[in-house]
Amino acid sequence: MSFSFDQRKLKDATVELIRRTSCELAPDVISAIRKARDTEAAGSSAKNVFEMILKNIDLAKEKKVPICQDTGTNIYYVTLPEGVSLRAVEKIIRDATVEATEKSILRPNTVDSLTGKNTGNNLGTMAPYVHFDEWDKDEIEIKLMMKGGGSENVSTQYKLPDSGLKAGRDLDGVYRCIVDAVNKAQGQGCAPGILGVGIGGDRATSMMVAKKQIFRKLTDKNENAELDKLENRLLTDLNTLGIGPMGFGGKTTVLGVKIGHLHRLPASFFVSIAYMCWAARRHTLVYKRNGETVYD
């Protein structure tokens, strides 16, 4: 039996997904920020920054306004049952994007790279970006990430070996790349950041996997034992850099490190780092066969 859905209901649910993502942080992110605040010395710049961040989070949720004026690149990962039209779902997402912009949930944020003209409705070539997968579940899952420009500007990519970093084609080399990237970013990208890392693949798929890691809960455990060990090591070591929130110094420079890996060509070894700001805006919508909608 093919999966069918009410297009209007799915569009309304997607508008609500956009609102939640723009205005409300996920509980695991808020918990990590509160924990970071509590580690900082009373009266320190870092403590004050975290207090302001938490006040911002509370006000945005209470007043239903965007957490940040930059509502970012809207990136969707959609997983569908067999037979559901990709074009129909993408049109629903684009229509929901226009409505969310009209309601000021999203800032008009999409500019033609050649003319410099803002489209005014957040639609454009691959804007929003939608990636599709298929599964056997009898439901549609829509994951949305809003990737701010500041954090995207300090995202980066390395190719190994790197003689300058003394980084070879191994996990120690990956470690050196990530430490270098965070050290270069300093307070830019709105620290404390969350790092999504992709090892391997080509330049495009490596970064795609890096960004997908940002959807992982900060409290989860990597299924790969070596990568889990590396994630924990990096989380500890990066927080000894002293960069702190917004670069004001302190004990928390990153809130989490999440790493995925792909197979690669023998000639290439890429390490892609997707830096996400503290306003890690990502939420998930599940639309079930009976029309029920569930948000994470």
Output the average pLDDT for the chain. Answer: 97
Find out whether 212 and 227 touch, Cβ atoms under 8 Å: no
Q: What integer pLDDT is reported at residue 188 of this predicted model?
A: 92
Can you give the pLDDT at residue 4? 86
Res. 111: pLDDT tops 70: yes
User: Which two tokens mark 209?
Assistant: 């996997």
What is the 8-class DSSP label of residue 97? H
* Predicted local confidence at residue 1, as pLDDT: 59
- In percent, the amount of the chain with pLDDT more than 90 equals 97
Whether the upstream peptide bond of residue 161 has omega within 30° of 0, thus cis, is: yes
Which domains, ranges and CATH numbers included, belong to the chain? Answer: 7-24+67-148+281-295 (3.30.360), 150-276 (no CATH)
CA dist 111 and 93 (Å) reads 19
Q: What is the mean pLDDT of residues 215-222?
A: 97
175-207 tens-digit pLDDT: 999 999 999 999 899 999 999 999 999 999 999
The answer to whether 222 and 235 are in contact (CB under 8 A) is no
DSSP 8-state symbol, 202: -
Helix (H) or strand (E) run with residue 129 in it: strand 129-135
Tell me the β-bridge partners of 127.
124
Rounded to whole angstroms, the Cα distance separating 69 from 62 reads 16
Half-sphere exposure of 75 (CA within 13 A, CB side): 22
pLDDT band at 3 (very low <50, low <70, confident <90, very high): confident
Q: What is the pLDDT of residues 145-165, one digit of tens each?
A: 999 999 999 999 999 999 999
